[in-house]
Amino acid sequence: MRISELARVTGVSTRSLRYYEEQGLLPARRLGNGYRDYDERAVQQVAFIQDLYRAGLSSEIIRDILPCTTDAGPQSDCGLLRSRVERVRDQLADQERQLAERRETLERYLAGSDAPASPAPRH
């Protein structure tokens, strides 16, 4: 399938698909005329890549994850990779807690029940 068809089927721009290829995330075979040709698995792979990006993973981590999801077998230690992904998940959880605390502080302030602290007088 050509890049325009993959873009239409997945709802992902051709620019993003080219970027995925540049990052080593989405292999494409080149035809004699230079056009990219993707196999049927590319549709699922693009969806998976999109999910991992939305989860906050970098291209580097996604590139390492992809071999762990294929029948060909991993090129790296998937256990170590799992630990990296767990760290990213834990960092996101910490960020969520911090955001919730900030939102609660703002809600209390807006409700009038918590005024900001007065600055200490200068001498």
Residue range 84-118, pLDDT digits in tens: 888 888 998 999 999 999 999 999 889 887 665 66
Percent of the chain beyond pLDDT 70? 86
- Mean pLDDT, all residues of the chain: 87
Q: What is the pLDDT of residue 117?
A: 62
Residue 99 identity (one-letter amino acid) = L
Burial class (CB in 10 A: 0-12, 13-18, 19+), 2: middle
What does the domain layout of the chain look like in residue ranges?
A: 3-110
- Mean pLDDT value across residues 69-87: 74
Residue 73 pLDDT class (50, 70, 90 cuts): low
Burial class (CB in 10 A: 0-12, 13-18, 19+), 62: buried
Classify domain 3-110 by CATH architecture. Answer: Orthogonal Bundle (1.10)
Task: Give 36's strand partners.
Answer: 30
